[in-house]
A and B are shown apart, each in its own frame.
Chain A
Amino acid sequence: MNIIVCIKQVPDTTEIKIDPVKGTLIRDGVPSIMNPDDKGGLELALRMKEQNGATVTVVSMGPPQADVMLREALAMGADRAILLSDRRFAGADTLATSYALAGCIKTLDYDLIIAGRQAIDGDTAQVAPEMAQHLDLPQVSYVIDAQKTANGFIVKKENEDSVQTLEVEGKCVLTVLASAFKARYMTVEGIIDAYANREVEVWSADRIDVDEEKLGLKGSPTKVFKSFPKSLKEPGEVHEVSEEEAVELIVAKLKEKHII
């Protein structure tokens, strides 16, 4: 089985601040990490590799600095790493990104594509579903478990209030939640190997199956009009009352807001 995992390098948003005037992210000095949901996806792929045997290829689109994240993926146990890096990809929104990734994946031999649900810097959750569309593949999002069957996969999908179990035939795209797959650590040998004996293949736009007009800024219909930090909510009210009074108060407030 050949599994492709799409991963993205993102700023560690737990350490990021927003410029209050410009509304943009202050990225200076913020470490870059593998997007957590993508890391969960890689973990799922590596578990499937251990259970059924598989070749795991990680694919990322990004600047040359993303090399270190792909080495991390190799050190965790991935077999092959491809970095789509080309000025022509720059300025891509989710549509152009998913198009480029699909164009890369078309040239590869695969049985399953795994991606994270969403990236912590953009939070769109659009890239993998769009990629499935480009590739004309079925997709299951919010995946918390997946098992290989004779001709496809049994997949558990987490909804807000329930878990669905689905059967998918043939090739498909899964988007994965980090919380369901605690990612393994890199091994010491894997780390040494990642730099000493392994390669991160850097692919340009010429190497993949795409119409160049649909790449990067040119292929991106999304225009960011304005970004700003969310304003803080007003502080709540504190009522020091008995339990009975509290119940009455809560019911009255809920009625006031037409919630009940």
Chain B
Amino acid sequence: MDFSYSKTEQLFLQMIRSFAENEVKPLAAEVDEKEMFPEETVKKMAKLGLMGIPVPKQYGGAGGTVQMYIMAVEELSRVCATTGVVLSAHTSLCMSPILEHGTEEQKMKYLPKLASGEWLGAFGLTEPNAGTDAAMQQTTAVDAGDKWILNGTKIFITNAANANVFVVMAMTDKSLGVKGISAFIVERGFKGFSIGKKELKMGIRGSATCELIFENCEVPKENMLGKPGEGFKIAMKTLDGGRIGIASQALGIAQGAMDETVKYTKERKQFGKPIAKFQNTQFQMADLKTRVEAARLLVRSAAWKKDMGLPYSADAAMAKLFAAETAMEVTTKAVQFHGGYGYTREYPVERMMRDAKITEIYEGTSEVQRMVIAGQLFK
């Protein structure tokens, strides 16, 4: 069993860490404060091939591994969780399903532009009445001969305001229930498709989360992803992969909060010595460090299984559950270690605490992860 990074991964880590530190970190506070989508950063990432890491070269990607992709999400999220989720949603939720379920024509049409970063991707499953109970889709797609007509509303869609391509679920045959849901590739600009209101959020404030509105939206026949009725299966499989991305985001946030807290507690003096010298600090930080490393192993193991083509659904759920709860615990304690300063925007830990919360919610709440894990356990 080999836990070390490969030579390629080590070199990649050197690059992404330096990129995150020099290009992403300096903007993180502003991205949060102004709810600013990091457009320039995404352009820089595109230039380096970061927007298409695990996409094969023949589709314009870098031909890398899932492991490298999640390392990128972690390192970006370590300094800016918004930038991390932009990459995660784009890669896991839009490119992945097209790569895994698309026809050769669909792959050739969409992946090169997505992988090069010319286009940004998003994914539309959640509706006002279909959150955790995702099967209750009310968006419909009706066969109109040479096209599909979509009607309905999606909510809480990451990257929506800036995305060009959306993988969207809609009910094609209500009588079949879950098996009546199908997946579609929808382009910005399709007639009848518009982006609705932008959510004002607690964290990841630079990520533009919006509604998708379909009013007799015309989708070409060839843009169905997979076969009719396969939509729910595609969505669940997509989320399995996405969870590794979000687990990495959570891991990055936790690691970032650890970095800040180690630095701060070594500098901050009370009662005549740095607070890092107090055993309370040391023991609590030791526990947090242990959790972060355990989360990292779960995340890496899930990504390794996906790279190897092994089943990874429960692994991804465990990684996300544990990493998200770790991120919440670490960031909350990081604020506590920073005391009054930690509660101000002068230090990044309050932002990290706000950013961490969403990782327990999106792409399946922690409760959903427990359902997935228990489902495997008791099957």
Contacts and interface: CB of A to CB of B under 8 A. Distances in A.
Interface of A: 68, 71-72, 75, 185-192, 194-196
Contacts of A187: 47-49, 62
A185 B21 CA distance: 12
A69 B57 CA distance: 25
A196 B62 CA distance: 13
Nearest to B15: A186
B48 A185 contact: yes
A72 B8 CA distance: 10
Contacts of A71: 7, 11
Given A72-B14, A185-B48, A188-B62, A195 B7 contact: yes
A192 B6 CA distance: 11
B15 A185 contact: yes
A220 to B, nearest CB: 32
A68 B7 contact: yes
A188, A192, A194: most-surrounded residue (chain B CB, <10 A): A188
B50 interface: yes
B73 interface: no
Interface in B10-41: 10-12, 14-15, 18-19
Contacts of A75: 11, 15
B116 to A, nearest CB: 11
Sort A-B residue pairs by CB-CB distance and give the 4 closest, nearest first. A188-B49, A188-B62, A186-B15, A189-B62
Given A68-B10, A186-B11, A196-B8, 5 more contacts: A185-B48, A188-B50, A188-B52, A188-B64, A192-B8
Chain B's interface size range is 20 to 34
B53 interface: yes
B285 interface: no
Interface of B: 7-8, 10-12, 14-15, 18-19, 47-50, 52-53, 57, 62-64, 68
Contacts of A196: 8
Contact of B48 (A72, A188, A194, A195): A188
Contact of A191 (B15, B18, B47, B52): B15
B11 A189 contact: no
A192 B48 CA distance: 12
A106 B64 CA distance: 38
Interface of A, secondary structure class, is: helix
Contacts of B11: 68, 71-72, 75, 186, 191, 194-195
A188 B19 contact: no
B12 A191 contact: yes
A82 to B, nearest CB: 19
Contacts of B18: 185
Nearest to A193: B63
Contacts of A68: 7, 10-11
Contacts of B14: 72, 186
Contacts of B50: 188
Nearest to B23: A185
Contacts of A191: 8, 11-12, 15
Contacts of B19: 185
Q: Select the residue from B8, B52, B64 with max chain A CB neighbours within 10 A.
A: B8
11 contacts: A72-B11, A185-B18, A186-B14, A187-B48, A188-B12, A188-B49, A188-B62, A188-B64, A189-B62, A191-B11, A194-B8
A182 to B, nearest CB: 10
Nearest to A76: B15
A21 B103 CA distance: 68
Nearest to A186: B15
B98 to A, nearest CB: 19
B114 to A, nearest CB: 15
B234 to A, nearest CB: 27
Nearest to B10: A68
Contacts of A195: 7-8, 11
Contacts of A185: 15, 18-19, 48
B8 to A, nearest CB: 5
Nearest to B44: A185
Contacts of A188: 12, 15, 48-50, 52-53, 62, 64, 68
